[in-house]
Amino acid sequence: MEIGIDSFASNETQHNSTKAIAELLERMEQADKMGLDVFGLGEHHRIEFLDSAAHMILAAAAARTSRIRLTSAVTVLSAADPVRVFQNFATLDLISQGRAEIVAGRGSFTEAFPLFGLNLQEYDALFAEKLGLLLQIRDNEVMNWSGKFRPALREQAIYPRPMQAKLPIWLGVGGTPGSFARAGTLGMPLMVAIIGGETHRFRPLIDLYRRAGAEAGHEPDTLKVGLHSLGFVGENSEDAANDYYPGYAETFTRIGKERGWPPVTRTQFNAQTSALGALVVGGPEEVASKILRHSEALGGIDRFSFQMDNAGLSHKTLLRAIELIGTKVKPMVEAGLSA
């Protein structure tokens, strides 16, 4: 199982963006040094995040790292031009010497649609067409294509080509059954964002993904499953929960006001950090055990990524958490899988 970090390039203070980017790059270097497998950056177009051009930050990290894979988490493909997405990440692949990936998704916020003059009512159609085009560009150097939302391509060669023979493109999903089935039918690796509820309840959707993949003729070992979860690793379980809760509650209460959710309470948080809850927060042993339980409950997962920078934790605290993940959690997960 690959273990990694996902970030939204948080800029909660909104006072020193230069410092926030510098610290994020230092955390990406730390993840590389600690032996983690992947670092992903999301895409948002909001004041509290600095990831609207995630490929630029990933390229800067590529020059400062040597082995860690660098991916989007996710690229909001509905609001992007697939040609430019491919060119950006193919270039990243060349800079990183074959370490780039894309997680394509529809995103959980809608601000990109008015920003780029798109109709939110065409949400699904935009994504389906653009995903199909992105996969075709990945697999064909010269394109002949036509669609509804972009000018046609006629004998059009698209460059640069990446170092990897087939640039990895994952499908990022939430809880929509059709998205799981689509990923399976296309034979795409699946990245599941589980930010609440009970993780084991996603098993029927992952079974749907695997079944759709098998029916489409894809080999089981190509149908990879990744898990993106809110989480944090501290020195021990009590300190980890106490450190993570205040910022987590503030963030999700604020987002909840936009979406009609009730304020976050400590009781709810404790339920989410319990054995069946989706939050992976605790000391190294507890976190490693929970990752293994999640993997077993979902029929095996191939990648687990922590989303840690949504709770207002200090840069120093996050650096230490990455160290604990690399030096303690990852070895314990590997030992548990091989037992």
Tens of pLDDT, residue by residue over 187-200, are 999 999 999 999 99
Q: Is the pLDDT of residue 36 over 90?
A: yes
* In contact, 137 and 161? CB cutoff 8 Å: no
Q: What are the beta bridge partners of residue 71?
A: 40, 101
> Of 225, 216, 196, 204, nearest to 295 (Cα)?
225
pTM as predicted: 0.96
Q: Is the pLDDT of residue 76 over 90?
A: yes
Q: What is the pLDDT of residue 13?
A: 62
Question: Reduced to 3 states, what is the DSSP secondary structure of residue 149?
Answer: coil
Q: DSSP states of 273-292 as a string?
A: TSTTBS-EEE-HHHHHHHHH
Domains belonging to the chain, first-starting first, are: 2-338 (3.20.20.30)
Q: Is the pLDDT of residue 308 over 90?
A: yes
**In the structure encoding, which two tokens stand for residue 218, read together?**
């894809």
Tens of pLDDT, residue by residue over 38-65, are 999 999 999 989 999 999 999 999 999 9
Q: β-strand 69-72 against 38-41: which pairing, if any? A: parallel
Q: What is the pLDDT of residue 14?
A: 61
Provide the mean pLDDT of the chain.
Answer: 95
Question: Reduced to 3 states, what is the DSSP secondary structure of residue 89?
Answer: helix
Q: At 129, is the pLDDT very low, low, confident or very high (cuts 50, 70, 90)?
A: very high
Q: Is the pLDDT of residue 15 over 80?
A: no
Q: Which helix (H) or strand (E) holds 70?
A: strand 69-72
Taking residues 62-70, what's their average pLDDT? 98
Phi, psi of 176 (to 5 degrees): -90, 120
